[in-house]
A = this chain, B = another copy of it.
Amino acid sequence: MKRKGIISAVSGLAAGVLVAAVFFADFNKEEKASSAADNKSKAEKVYVPYGEYDDYYMLASGGHSGQLFVYGVPSMRKIRTVPVFTPDPATGYGYDENTKKMLGGYTWGDFHHPAVSETKGDYDGEFLFANDVGNNRVAAVDLSTFHTADIMSLPNMGGPHAGVFVTENTEYIALPTRFARPLGGKYAELDKYKEEYKGVVSMAKFDRDKKKFNLAYQIMLPPWSYDLSDAGKKMSGDWIVMTTYNTEFATTNLEINASQNDRDYIVLINWKKLEGEVAKGNYKEIEGVKMVDPRDYKGAIYAIPVSKSPHGVDVTPDGKRFIAAGKLAPLMTVFSFEKAFEAIEKEDYSDEKFGIPVLPYKKVMEREVDPPGALGPLHTQFDDKGNAYNTMFISSEVVKWKVDTGEVIDRKPSYFSPGHSSAAEGDTVDPDGKWLVALNKIAKDNFLSVGPSHPESMDLFDISGEEMEHIMAAPVDPEPHYAQIVHKDKIKPKKLYEKDEKRKNAVWSKEDAHIERKGNEVHVYGVALRSKFVFDAKSDRPDAVTVNQGDRVFFHMTNIDLDQDITHGFGINDYNLNFEVQPGQTNTLEFVADQAGTFPIYCTNFCSALHQEMSGYLLVKPKE
């Protein structure tokens, strides 16, 4: 079963990449030996008895769903889909006034890499940031409510794939572009690629009190593709590192043309330096954004050669090294920040590319780690004992090795084709060394079949011992590109939305529910409570609203059930409208009543034994 999967995954590769199927036949034998006793012990590790909790939140990208997926680890149970970049009819996200405005008409997003806000290089659990590769946006999710707090569009970008990552005190949320594009997304022929197309990094700031983004500045780069990136820590805290591909400037058939060079580059940027230049007014305003060209400022940008088409680059927990994963080369390369700083200090350059000084590979590189037969390293995670973990896309395995020595300690198969992996607290200065989840791209025959296209798959490994142990596989909707695993004690969700007497449009008692009419606008100030709607306390039928065809109707609804998990929904039958109000929340639904007739209103979120009775009517009088 497994071999077939590997072979077919490999069959799509360009010539020149070794085929590893034979090697992995060994893993199959080992796997079959896995005994019933092993399975019992594995089962116990992931079982969370009633009344107990998972130890970790796994906050995973929902990929081209545009949403955030919340899992519990180690049970791998999916707890919640949090809508971020895409409307969510189940909760009314994108339908109520606030979220409709925030989404700005977008119906699709492609959420790649979540990053939890950090303080001193450690997850602080307050916010989660997300990138939209599809439509060039960045979002912040408030982890006290698990609601999206803000979304900002990023001009000049061609898919901010290489983000998001945060600097160690969340000074910046950095988002490097994936595809080179003319600034402003303007039209330019592909023949003018080198001149007119640009790579851009967006440097966003987030105000935690106001819960608002601000695009501080952008960095203009060569029209290479930027794949992944990380922020420095401690000694390297002022720097960001990014991988590149297509340094060939190919404009077609990238499968072959962007895989010609033996080496692409890691780009190092000193964000602190550029911040200073921007403060001094050293920028151009392009498409309303402060744009800096780092080549104009000595010490702001460097490149280091790296094995071809790397995917991830990750800074070690101590901030001293960064590790590039080769993707199309079978190795991980360990670089030293100390050595890089030394070369920079001495102006010891081996080359210059597109105006960027290139640091000498051999002087900055500490070690190449090349486990035999391990193919397609994508990304590096860390534990608390100085070890690194690499998922291998092509050879479908996880490799554990010692950062200090390059010694390979363990290798375990993953089913199939792992993309990123995520370790418990694995991106922080202080990883936990407990669990690692490989986010596999292809499930094949791993689960009950759902037709020609399967779910993605996630493999849970216990990494607390010397040897890794594969514990379980969990299916997942497309597509968790990346995840962060955060200890449960770090996230402090609210139990309720506080009762705020001064909140705009809120009504806090049944008696105060009322309707205001202004011309052809109808404002309903209503309440939802178990088990009724009250729209107009003074009416004989307080749960019915009559309007005229063509009226603009606003339902301002407050959920006055101040009791955790008692959410009310509000659906209008035949009107294609639904939203929700969580306990203590006020939300507004606005629409034009263009369809005359009789329309039941009902609570769509099961709330009580009389939920079925929680209903009313919208009556729309036809135009004469």
Q: List 18 A-B contacts (CB under 8 A).
A: A40-B43, A54-B447, A77-B475, A78-B78, A80-B475, A186-B596, A187-B598, A187-B620, A441-B607, A442-B566, A443-B565, A444-B565, A450-B493, A452-B494, A453-B565, A453-B583, A454-B565, A456-B606
Q: What residues on B are CB-neighbors of A309 within 8 Å? A: 612-613
Nearest-neighbor residue (CB-CB) of A473 within chain B: B50
In the bound assembly, the distance between CA atoms of A574 and B108 in angstroms comes to: 10
Q: What residues on B are CB-neighbors of A613 within 8 Å? A: 245-246, 254-255, 258-259, 309
* Cross-chain contact of A43 among B43, B87, B488, B494 (Cβ < 8 A): B43
Q: What residues on B are CB-neighbors of A70 within 8 Å? A: 448, 450
By the criterion CB–CB under 8 Å, are A253 and B542 in contact?
Answer: yes
Interface membership of A495, Cβ < 8 A: yes
Q: What residues on B are CB-neighbors of A574 within 8 Å? A: 135-136, 158, 185
Contacts A44-B43, A144-B451, A158-B600 given; indicate if A87 touches B107 (C-beta within 8 A). Answer: yes
Q: What residues on B are CB-neighbors of A493 within 8 Å? A: 449-452
Interface membership of A118, Cβ < 8 A: no
Contacts A40-B44, A190-B617, A612-B311 given; indicate if A576 touches B108 (C-beta within 8 A). Answer: yes
Nearest-neighbor residue (CB-CB) of A445 within chain B: B564
Bits for A167-178, please: 1 = Cβ < 8 Å to B, else 0.
Answer: 000000000001
Interface membership of A394, Cβ < 8 A: yes
Contacts A134-B576, A573-B159, A609-B393 given; indicate if A452 touches B567 (C-beta within 8 A). Answer: yes
Interface membership of A91, Cβ < 8 A: yes
Question: Which 6 pairs show the lowest CB-CB distances between chains A and B?
Answer: A12-B530, A43-B47, A12-B608, A65-B90, A179-B600, A252-B541
Q: Which of A56-64, A205-213, A400-408 is the contact stretch? A: A56-64
Q: What residues on B are CB-neighbors of A178 within 8 Å? A: 600, 602
Question: Within A18-35, which residues are at the interface with B (CB < 8 Å)?
Answer: 31, 34
Interface membership of A147, Cβ < 8 A: yes
Q: Nearest Cβ in chain B — how far from A311, in angstroms?
A: 7
Q: Which interface class (under 10, 10 to 19, 20 to 34, 35 or more) fits A?
A: 35 or more
Q: Nearest Cβ in chain B — how far from A437, in angstroms?
A: 14
Q: What residues on B are CB-neighbors of A452 within 8 Å? A: 145, 493-497, 564-565, 567, 582-585
By the criterion CB–CB under 8 Å, are B57 and A47 in contact?
Answer: no
Question: Within A102-130, which residues are at the interface with B (CB < 8 Å)?
Answer: 105-110
By the criterion CB–CB under 8 Å, are A475 and B311 in contact?
Answer: no
In the bound assembly, the distance between CA atoms of A513 and B567 in angstroms comes to: 51
Interface membership of A270, Cβ < 8 A: no
Nearest-neighbor residue (CB-CB) of A470 within chain B: B50
In the bound assembly, the distance between CA atoms of A258 and B612 in angstroms comes to: 10
* Cross-chain contact of A47 among B11, B46, B494, B565 (Cβ < 8 A): B46
Bits for A47-82, please: 1 = Cβ < 8 Å to B, else 0.
Answer: 101110110010000111110001010001111111
Nearest-neighbor residue (CB-CB) of A184 within chain B: B597
Nearest-neighbor residue (CB-CB) of A56 within chain B: B448
Contacts A43-B44, A89-B86, A610-B259 given; indicate if A252 touches B78 (C-beta within 8 A). Answer: no
By the criterion CB–CB under 8 Å, are B77 and A453 in contact?
Answer: no
Q: Nearest Cβ in chain B — how far from A410, in angstroms?
A: 18
Nearest-neighbor residue (CB-CB) of A225 within chain B: B612
By the criterion CB–CB under 8 Å, are B146 and A450 in contact?
Answer: yes
Interface membership of A133, Cβ < 8 A: yes
Interface membership of A227, Cβ < 8 A: yes
Nearest-neighbor residue (CB-CB) of A595 within chain B: B185
Contacts A145-B452, A255-B613, A598-B181 given; indicate if A89 touches B109 (C-beta within 8 A). Answer: yes
Nearest-neighbor residue (CB-CB) of A572 within chain B: B134
In the bound assembly, the distance between CA atoms of A68 and B133 in angstroms comes to: 27
Q: Nearest Cβ in chain B — how far from A483, in angstroms?
A: 15
Interface membership of A622, Cβ < 8 A: yes
Interface membership of A477, Cβ < 8 A: yes
Q: Nearest Cβ in chain B — how far from A108, in angstroms?
A: 4
Bits for A570-581, please: 1 = Cβ < 8 Å to B, else 0.
Answer: 010110111010
Nearest-neighbor residue (CB-CB) of A81 within chain B: B477
By the criterion CB–CB under 8 Å, are A394 and B610 in contact?
Answer: no
Question: Within A81-104, which residues are at the interface with B (CB < 8 Å)?
Answer: 81-82, 86-91, 95
Contacts A179-B600, A188-B598, A259-B610 given; indicate if A561 touches B159 (C-beta within 8 A). Answer: no
Q: What residues on B are CB-neighbors of A46 within 8 Å? A: 43, 47
In the bound assembly, the distance between CA atoms of A394 and B136 in angstroms comes to: 48
Nearest-neighbor residue (CB-CB) of A55 within chain B: B448
* Cross-chain contact of A448 among B54, B90, B108 (Cβ < 8 A): B54
